[in-house]
Amino acid sequence: MNKIILVTALWCPSCLIMRPRYQTVVSSRANLTMEEFDYDENPQIVKSKKIGSTLPVAIIYDEQGREILRLVGEISLKKLVEKIEQL
């Protein structure tokens, strides 16, 4: 099962737009889970995942825990679905 680590922030307008898009994609796929972290409340995650100041950041891992895709910023739902389907 692939997993998305989503890093967002309350002050980030793009995060407010992208959060429901990621939730839509995850809810429609049995082989995908998501865990969300707040940028400001989880500095250890931000540092360990090498996340910059552009948010949101979604890191997608395969079943072996390897990073297979990193998406930064705001993208359309259509483009998000296309990226996920390519995995």
Give 10-residue mean pLDDT values along the chain (87 residues). 97 98 96 97 97 97 97 97 93
pTM, entire model: 0.94
Please give the structure tokens belonging to residue 58: 């979604």
Fold held by 2-85: Glutaredoxin (3.40.30)
pLDDT for the residue 56: 99
Give the span between the Cα atoms of 42 and 29, in whole angstroms: 27
